[in-house]
Amino acid sequence: MNKERLLALTKEVSPRYLVVLYLVLVVALGLVISSLLLYPQELRQNELSAQLQQARQKVAVVETFVLTHPNTEQYLTELQMAITRADRALPPSPDISIFLAQLEKDAKVAGVKMTGVKPAVVIDRAGYREMPVEVSIEGNYFATLTFLKRLEDGERFSVPAAFLIQQKPNNLATRLNLQIFSFGLTPRPAATPPGTPPVKAPGAQQ
């Protein structure tokens, strides 16, 4: 019954409209097939374009580096020297003996007398240690300035948190509260598991 209706409708429709409908269907089918075939290629093309852009950016960075540093060996040497200076300014060890020895040398060169050095408790910060040190010196005005300048230009990074200057006959008494730093954290003693008996010294009575 449906076939008869379709045939009847087909006979009633003009052949011109049938041709137009056929062409529309063919074009639509072609567009669908083209999109299915071209879409993966378009994705691949976009991916290749992004990779090409990244490669061009890398080449531009290399070209800029070469133009800025034509002598690569000299640049690497300077970079290594900068790393060494950074390690000396902020060493990984909390030991301050080298810093204190340098302070004594600076005091002698500047012409001041170091009257006291008092390291304080190390403070653990976020990834680094803060080590307060109180330094007391005596000397005339210009010698004190020279010492402070050498302290500022020293290899070890230090911050004068506070200072106090007192006038004495022919001298200045200066007390510096310095903060020096190092990378890392202070090792903590291992925790004793619960129930572990205390360790007794050899020869102790049971």
147 has pLDDT over 80:
yes
**Burial readout 60-90 (b: 16 or more C-beta within 10 A, e: otherwise):** eeeeeeeeeeeeeeeeeeeeeeeeeeeeeeb
Residue 139 pLDDT: 92
Q: What pLDDT score was predicted for residue 125?
A: 81
Q: 3-state secondary structure string, the chain?
A: CHHHHHHHHHHHCCHHHHHHHHHHHHHHHHHHHHHHHHHHHHHHHHHHHHHHHHHHHHHHHHHHHHHHCCCHHHHHHHHHHHHHHHHHHCCCCCCCHHHHHHHHHHHHHHCCEEEEEEECCCEECCCEEEEEEEEEEEECHHHHHHHHHHHHCCCCCEEEEEEEEEEECCEEEEEEEEEEEEECCCCCCCCCCCCCCCCCCCCCCC
What is the rounded average pLDDT of the residues 174-183? 87
User: What is the mean predicted confidence (pLDDT) over 174-179?
Assistant: 91
Question: Which of 182 and 186 is assigned the larger pLDDT?
Answer: 182
- How far apart are the C-alpha atoms of 63 and 40, rounded to whole Å? 35
Q: Given pLDDT bands bounded at 50, 70 and 90, which one contains residue 155? A: confident
Per-residue pLDDT tens over the stretch 108-137: 999 999 999 999 888 888 888 888 999 999
Stated length of the chain: 206
Name which residue leads in pLDDT, 78 or 159: 159
Q: Where are the domains of the chain?
A: 1-68, 91-183
pLDDT in tens, 24-39: 777 677 666 666 666 6
- pLDDT at residue 13 above 60? no
Residue 10: its pLDDT value, please? 57
CA distance 206 to 155: 55
Question: CATH number of the domain at 91-183, out of 1.20.1090.10, 3.30.300.30, 3.30.70.60, 3.30.565.40?
Answer: 3.30.70.60
Which tops the pLDDT comparison, 192 or 31?
A: 31
